[in-house]
Amino acid sequence: MTGIVCAYLKEAKPLIKYFDLKKVNDKFPIYENEKITLIISNQGKLNSAIATTFLLSTREISNIINFGIAGSSEFKIGEIFLVNKINNKFFPDILLSHPFSESEIICFDEVVESGNYKLVDMESEGFFKAGIKFLKAHQIHLIKIVSDNLLCFRPSDEFMNNLITPHLKNIEKYITSLKEDKKFDLRIVEELSKKYDLSFSQKEQFKNRVMYYFLNNLSLPQIDFKKSNRKNDFRRIMNEFKI
């Protein structure tokens, strides 16, 4: 099952309608069908962390998404992004191909009304820090839509619906592409790391590349070249697995 954490009901309403989610009685506002469970956390890092922890503690969640709006001084209202870095210190592993642009985000404790930021919000850090206690980094996803250019306002339901609705099909495609976490056959990682004497860091980078191939149902390249030195061998291996 895929979990979705939204700060506000206004953010969630287009998803609830599109995916035909039904409200269930629980400690939080939760909306579900057989494949998706969505929870409303309310504003802020702490609330997001608590709601994320609750959802991951009470449901069988294989992937979790923080979906919602974000402010930006650089991007246009209505642009959608998959977050690849939070506060310069948390890094979701984006291993799936996807239809979105990517961006970093800065998470604040209060509403930001000035400055130069690609994306800002108040929930992403709390969400990620809670999620990583239960899942791996490639199972944690953040999808943000720019709602304002650092302007403090209260968006109406109509505004939110018009903002989010054009992206629902791509959001659905992305959710559909998420797979249950499973044990991948990573023997090729062990074999080639040993054969070409890869360092721990190189091995981890190579492992992520191989997992990308598995997750996207791509055929694995066959590698059998003469060993030279670690740096060049690693470069050649990664080029063979070029994305």
168 and 192 housed in the same domain = no
Answer for the pair 220, 240: CB distance below 8 angstroms, yes or no.
Answer: no
User: Helix, strand or coil for residue 213?
Assistant: helix
44: left (phi over 0), alpha (psi -120 to 50) or beta: left
198 and 150 housed in the same domain = no
204 and 128 housed in the same domain = no
Among the candidates 127, 144, 177, a domain finishes at 177
- Which whole number is the average pLDDT over 140-148? 97
Helix-strand-coil split of the chain, %, nearest 5: 40, 20, 40
The string of DSSP letters for 172-197 reads HHHHHH---------HHHHHHHHHTT
Nearest C-alpha neighbor of 4 from the set 198, 29, 240: 29
Residue 25 DSSP class: -
In a domain, 89, yes or no: yes
Name the residue with higher pLDDT: 212 or 197: 197
Q: Which domain holds residue 219?
A: 187-240
Cα gap 4→2, rounded to integer Å: 7
Domain tally for the chain?
2
74 and 54 housed in the same domain = yes
For residue 5, what pLDDT band results from cuts at 50, 70 and 90? Answer: very high
In a domain, 140, yes or no: yes
pLDDT attached to residue 181:
55
150 and 224 housed in the same domain = no
Tell me the pLDDT tens digit for each residue of 120-141.
999 999 999 999 999 999 999 9
Nearest C-alpha neighbor of 141 from the set 108, 99, 75, 95: 95
pLDDT over 70 (residue 183)? no
pLDDT over 90 (residue 8)? yes
34 and 149 housed in the same domain = yes
29 and 118 housed in the same domain = yes
Tell me the pLDDT tens digit for each residue of 71-111.
999 999 999 999 999 999 999 989 888 999 999 999 999 98
38 and 69 housed in the same domain = yes
Name the residue with higher pLDDT: 219 or 237: 237
In a domain, 226, yes or no: yes
In a domain, 67, yes or no: yes
pLDDT attached to residue 132:
96
In a domain, 182, yes or no: no
21 and 96 housed in the same domain = yes
Burial class (CB in 10 A: 0-12, 13-18, 19+), 30: buried
Among the candidates 177, 204, 228, a domain finishes at 177
pLDDT over 60 (residue 231)? yes
pLDDT attached to residue 187:
87
pLDDT attached to residue 182:
56
- Which whole number is the average pLDDT over 48-69? 97
pLDDT over 90 (residue 220)? no
**CATH code, domain carrying 20:** 3.40.50.1580
**What is the rounded average pLDDT for all residues in the chain?**
93
102 and 214 housed in the same domain = no
33 and 139 housed in the same domain = yes
For residue 16, what pLDDT band results from cuts at 50, 70 and 90? Answer: very high
Token pair, residue 136, equals: 């791996």
Name the residue with higher pLDDT: 39 or 220: 39
11 and 50 housed in the same domain = yes
Q: Which residues have CB under 8 Å from 32's CB, separation 6+?
A: 21, 22, 24, 38
In a domain, 47, yes or no: yes
- Which whole number is the average pLDDT over 43-64? 96
In a domain, 156, yes or no: yes
In a domain, 216, yes or no: yes
Work out whether strand 22-24 and strand 80-86 pair parallel, antiparallel, or are unpaired: unpaired
Among the candidates 177, 195, 220, a domain finishes at 177
Place of tokens 């506060």: 87
Cα gap 120→5, rounded to integer Å: 17
